[in-house]
Amino acid sequence: MTALATIRTSLEQCYDAIESLAGRMDASQWRAQSLCPDWDMRGVITHLGMMERVMTGWLPESAEDLPPLDRIGPYHDEMAALDEATFAARIGKIFADRRVDLAGLTEADLARQSWTPVGPRSYGGFLEIRIFDFWVHERDISTLLGWPSDDTGPRTEIALGQVEGSIGYIVGKKIGLPDGTSIVFHLTGPATRDLAVLVDGRASAVDHIERPDVELTTDTATFIQLAAGRIDPQRQIDAGLVTWTGNAQLGDRAARNLRFTI
């Protein structure tokens, strides 16, 4: 499990990044389509604030203890009525309340069993999911607007960990690598690592593969955004941001089918 100090700092940086985006956007940008097909820029930030509002003041007693989801309806009604400046200020207040929550957390709190949107995990695991959500949605805004984002540090490591934890599913179910074959993903940074997967009845992550059938190389941010289904694989291939060696057909299939999120 990620250490408390790292989770706390990473979430605070997530809040800072969204507040910064909200402070920079003009009226037309607020209503522009984001990389998330369901929402414009305001919709993305509404979504992020919603779950933080739901989690404010809540600690799970068990995996069956739901957070106060009855806050969602009133939250959406409140936010829909606000102009952009007041909306941004309200998001800032929600994040400020969550910073107070984070300041009071203990390592024992992170180990609590918790409900999460993807099934039972620890509360620390739930917070890691939140960091992944923030990481992706921040870039739903910044990538489309051409604004830089900070892809270094623990936030990216935690976001990548969510993809890495599903790498067997991605290779076996989404890419559909045939039985008896293998692949290594070379991530060039900022979070540098090799992810090796062998299909032997089922696709599973392994420590090392000496001679994989295909090797795919890309940077960390491109890899995560492709896994989140946010960017067009063909554009990344054409730009030389995704390359592969070995079995050309499997490499092409892998580059185009990394998406695993809903």
Q: What is the DSSP letter of 241?
A: S
Q: Within 10 Å of residue 238's Cβ, how many Cβ atoms?
A: 10
Residue 262 has pLDDT above 70, yes or no: no
Q: What's the mean per-residue pLDDT of the chain?
A: 97
What pLDDT sits at residue 261? 84
Q: What is the pLDDT of residues 162-221, one digit of tens each?
A: 999 999 999 999 999 999 999 999 999 999 999 999 999 999 999 999 999 999 999 999
96-109: burial string, b at 16+ Cβ within 10 Å, e else: eebeebbeebeeeb
State percent of the chain over pLDDT 90: 99
Six token digits for residue 196:
């090796």
What pLDDT sits at residue 1? 75
State percent of the chain over pLDDT 70: 100
Q: How buried is 10 (Cβ within 10 angstroms: 0-12 exposed, 13-18 middle, 19+ buried)?
A: buried
What integer is the mean pLDDT of 223-229? 97
